[in-house]
Amino acid sequence: MFRYVKLLIGLLVLLGGGTAVYAQEFTPTFTPAPCPFDGPALGPFTPSPEEMGFECGYVTVLEEHANPDGPTIRLPVAILRATSPNAKPDPLFLAQGGPGGSAFEIFTYTVPNTEIAAERDIVIFNQRGTQYAEPDLFCDESIAVADELLGLPPEEGLERSLELLAECYRRLEAEGINLSAYNSLENAADVEDIRQALGYDEFNFYGVSYGTLLGLHLMRDYPEHLRSVILDGVVPPNLNFIPKVAQNEDRIFRELFRACNDDPACAA
């Protein structure tokens, strides 16, 4: 349960809907930096990300794209340069789902040495408020008592988790973080900022799960520089994502258990 509390702030604020195209009075910038990730959850990279060819850094963007004089935040980015002498000029951007999942933990483990990585640059980024971003919205309050939460009865655990979530919310607000700026529209604007900061003209976008929602927002709000879009496991903009996920999981498991009960081999 603590994992849900840890990410719930991000889930609640990332799913903003609507339409927004922001005036560009601010120029996003890329600053090289050591790769912040060690690799997938299975363990550290051997060799290191840099030895595998990744160039890492941070793209500085506005916390609110509609407020060019407002605070800025930093998004972690990793670039894997194409190795072919006839490489295509348009990179492939990879967006993870969640919302809030770490693209670094997934794609940096699977993309190197693939045919597509030889043909064009691969750009991997984590979304605002998530792992390695500055700031992140992780609720350390719940992480610190993870074992305690896992050992509580469900109702008591839920009550304690909500208390910790409220503490996390108050702390983030006290730190001056504008939680209303952490939503899908700002996320999509961030992707356009990353493209601009890295100096690409056209780009290809791959999104999985929640990442498809970013792809749809990009197609609607920032189509000028999109060469192609791949949507893998589509999340439509009109879907109330979080409640539907829980409802669908419950329905699927009930159907699975019912089918198993009707099958003699499975039910044995």
Q: Mean pLDDT in runs of 10 for the chain (268 residues)?
A: 43 50 78 80 63 92 95 96 94 89 80 87 95 92 78 85 90 94 95 98 94 94 96 85 79 94 91
CATH of 19-136+182-237, one of 3.30.565.10, 3.40.50.620, 3.40.50.1820, 1.20.140.10: 3.40.50.1820
How is the chain split into domains, by residue range? 19-136+182-237, 239-268
Task: Provide the pLDDT for residue 175.
Answer: 94
pLDDT on residue 53: 87
Q: What pTM was computed for the model?
A: 0.82
pLDDT of residue 142: 79
Residue 137: its pLDDT value, please? 93
Q: What is the 3-state secondary structure (H, E, C) of the chain?
A: CHHHHHHHHHHHHHCCCCCCCCCCCCCCEEEECCCCCCCCCCCCCCCCCCCCCEEEEEEEEECCCCCCCCCEEEEEEEEECCCCCCCCCCCEEEECCCCCCCHHHHHHHHCCCCHHHHHCCEEEECCCECCCCECECCCHHHHCCHHHHHCCCHHHHHHHHHHHHHHHHHHHHHCCCCHHHCCHHHHHHHHHHHHHHHCCCCEEEEEECHHHHHHHHHHHHCHHHEEEEEEECCCCCCCCHHHHHHHHHHHHHHHHHHHHHHCHHHHC
The pLDDT, as a whole number, for residue 151 is 80
**Per-residue pLDDT at 260:** 94
